[in-house]
Amino acid sequence: MRLLVTGAGGMLGRAVVQAAAARGHDVAALARADLDVTDRAAVNRAVAGAAPDAVVHCAAWTDVDGAEADEVTALAVNGDGAGHVARAAAAAGARLVHVSTDYVFDGRKGEPYVEDDSTGPLSAYGRSKLAGERAVAEASPDHAIARTAWLFGAGGRNFVDTVLRLAAGRDELRVVADQVGSPTWVGHLAPALIDLAEGDARGVFHVTAAGTCSWYDLAAEAFAQAGVACRAVPTTSADFPRPAPRPALSALRSTRPEAPVLAPWQEGLARHVAARVPA
């Protein structure tokens, strides 16, 4: 398969390129410096030139708090950009796998969200990603939208590496315990996205690690697996106000039999911690 990966310089994009190459696919990898997804003409040229069988669209604005201050740009990247890629993929006859987020939900359901639940993003970032989902669904007849959450892995800023860095030389670290989600290692997610690209199932899929936890739980487990002496201390979101509101419970699960099944988040965390090079 000829596979085009956008956002190939980012944490997830790199993992997707590696996973695709490991399966023997012919991969065209476009990083942000190679392709500005807000430039429709450039996107059309890049996709037509690559002549892919499938596109995995990882390029995105991922600064959740930054989007609150610049929703216009976040929307241009996550909404309009997704639409540009979807239209170009459709014109090339290519299947599209688009990566979305748990933040399209408001977190008030009280239990994990499934694909058919109503959306209601709280933040500018969530609104921009929902706009991207809608643009993809409208422009590409052969698409799979993969909602995922709380990503961590090598090659990019993420919560796990941040708390392990902050824990150095400290006895304790306060971590928010009233936000619950589905932490997902990109090393598990990337092959799942390739599965979707290789298949023919269409629509929205929830693709996260099995199980749920809070940020506090994730930090405590990371400290235990890394052998860090620092102790995680639970606190509340109110104690750590951020520009962008976060959903209280944005964990995802799938009701679709075609959805890829990922390992528990603890397994992904163990793999990441074992391979991590301390900063």
pLDDT digits (tens, 9 = 90+) for 140-199: 999 999 999 999 999 889 999 999 999 988 999 999 999 999 999 999 999 999 999 999
pLDDT digits (tens, 9 = 90+) for 99-117: 999 999 999 999 999 999 9
Say if 173 falls within a structural domain: no
Average pLDDT, the chain: 96
Structure confidence at residue 4 (pLDDT): 98
Instruction: Give pTM, 2 decimals.
Output: 0.96
pLDDT digits (tens, 9 = 90+) for 240-266: 899 999 999 999 999 999 999 999 999
Concatenate the DSSP letters of all residues of 132-199 into one string: HHHHHHHH-SSEEEEEE-SEE-TTS--HHHHHHHHHTT-SEEEEE-S-EE--EEHHHHHHHHHHHHHS
Say if 237 falls within a structural domain: no
Say if 153 falls within a structural domain: yes
97 forms beta bridges with: 56, 144
Say if 175 falls within a structural domain: no
Running DSSP on this structure, what letter comes out for residue 7? S
Say if 242 falls within a structural domain: no
Say if 239 falls within a structural domain: no
- Does residue 279 register a pLDDT over 70? no
Say if 236 falls within a structural domain: no
State the pLDDT confidence band at 123, using cuts at 50, 70 and 90.
Answer: very high
CATH number at residue 41: 3.40.50.720
213 forms beta bridges with: 181
Q: Which residues are catalytic?
A: 125
The count of domains in the chain is: 1
Q: Name residues whose C-beta falls within 8 Å of residue 83's C-beta, 6 or more positions apart in sequence.
A: 132, 135, 136, 138, 139
Say if 140 falls within a structural domain: yes
**What domain range is 51 assigned to?**
2-158+183-211+250-262
